[in-house]
Amino acid sequence: MVAFEMKSSFRIIIVLCAIIAVIAVAGGLLAFSFLCVSADIRSEWQQPVEHHLSRHMHDLPRDRDALLQSFRSARPGTSVRPEDLPASLRVPGLIYALVYRDHITLILYHSPDTDSGFRIWKSGMPADFADQATSIPFVTRFTYCDDYPASPANKWE
Output the DSSP codes for 96-109.
EEEE-SSEEEEEEE
CA–CA dist 68, 147 (Å, integer): 30
For the segment 63-85, what is each residue's pLDDT rounded down to a tens digit?
999 999 999 999 999 999 999 99
Grade residue 45 by pLDDT with cuts at 50, 70 and 90.
low
Cβ-based neighbours of 32, under 8 Å, separated by 6 or more: none
Say what the alpha-carbon torsion angle 150, 151, 156, 157 is, to the nearest 10 degrees: 110
CA–CA dist 30, 7 (Å, integer): 34
The model carries a pTM of 0.69
Q: Which of 116, 122, 53, 117 is nearest to 87 (CA)?
A: 53
Q: What is the rounded average pLDDT for all residues in the chain? A: 81
For the segment 90-143, what is each residue's pLDDT rounded down to a tens digit?
999 999 999 999 999 999 999 998 899 999 999 877 878 888 989 898 999 999
Does residue 38 register a pLDDT over 90?
no
Q: Is 154 exposed, middle or buried (0-12, 13-18, 19+ CB in 10 A)?
A: middle
